[in-house]
A and B are shown apart, each in its own frame.
Chain A
Amino acid sequence: MTNKTPITQDMIDLVVARLEALPPNVAMSVGGDGGLDVGELIKRVKACDEVGKQIIEMQLFYLRSLKNLSPIENVATNN
């Protein structure tokens, strides 16, 4: 699963904002790079290196998929 859409500054800013909202005790295990804390993740996203691009791709894929992911909830109607 890869996305060839060029990465824009808006995308980077969006992902950074999402990462900044994480609690400080959270880290991520990303491939061979092992554990990266929030600060390091943000640094890599801003640098748009291989790990940064992967994090961006992962986050954007999730956000784009949201409309198909939301579980169906019972909705009361007046019909």
Chain B
Amino acid sequence: MNEARRRSVEVIDLEKEKATRDKVESYLKKKDPDIIIFNGHGNDVSVAGDDDKTIAEVGRSTYLFKDKKVYVRACRAGKKLGPDIVNNGATGFVGYIQDFIFPYDKDSIHKPLQDEYAKPNLECSNQVGISLIKGKSIKDANDDSLKMFKQKLDEQLTSKSKNSLVATCLLWNMMNQIVIE
């Protein structure tokens, strides 16, 4: 979102109590955004918003994603929701076919990008959204993210880190991130 604001790209941020199915569908119809980014809990067929209630799912209103680039950072949404979104006309989709897993420091829970455990995985997955906002194609956005995953993984392997948990999660998330066009 910082990248979008820096580029004067209009951002419609539906967070917390605004992250409901009705609001999402309403904004998709009225505002017709080019890029949609979901960040929440998910499963093979859906992604959740506020209070873990479904905001998008297979077979329901996925036509609203037509001609849009979609990134869903939610567990396993790449398995069925992603293909359904693309089959209904989305330009492309990036998501995950397994759970998105990352470590974090319990003492830094409110500052994930300052948390040395959480930061690498979150930065790599955030890169998808950043590249999309920069105007890149869905494929290039995915490639940028994967490149960062590899770079961060390399850093972890050569670091003096006492445990390999960050690297383990980087590899997992990298291998499970998919692009569908």
Judged by a CB distance under 8 angstroms, whether B126 is at the interface is: no
A69 to B106, CA, bound (A): 29
With contacts A25-B105, A27-B106, A31-B75 known, is A54 near B175, CB below 8 A? no
| B contact residues, range | 20 to 34
Contact A69 B171 (CB under 8 A): yes
Judged by a CB distance under 8 angstroms, whether B138 is at the interface is: no
Judged by a CB distance under 8 angstroms, whether A75 is at the interface is: no
Partner of B103, one of A27, A32, A59: A27
A62 to B176, CA, bound (A): 13
Interface of A is mostly: mixed
* Residues of the B chain whose Cβ atoms lie less than 8 Å from the Cβ of A14: none
A70 to B156, CA, bound (A): 10
Judged by a CB distance under 8 angstroms, whether A28 is at the interface is: yes
Contact A71 B75 (CB under 8 A): no
* Residues of the B chain whose Cβ atoms lie less than 8 Å from the Cβ of A58: 101, 168-169, 172
* Residues of the A chain whose Cβ atoms lie less than 8 Å from the Cβ of B175: 1, 61
Q: Chain B residues in contact with chain A, CB under 8 A?
A: 41-43, 52, 75-76, 97-107, 109, 117, 153-154, 157-158, 162-165, 167-169, 171-172, 175-176
Q: Chain A residues in contact with chain B, CB under 8 A?
A: 1-2, 18, 21-23, 25-32, 35, 37, 54, 58-59, 61-62, 65, 69-71
Q: Which 10 A-B pairs have the closest CB atoms?
A: A31-B99, A31-B75, A62-B168, A58-B172, A32-B41, A28-B103, A25-B106, A1-B175, A27-B106, A30-B101
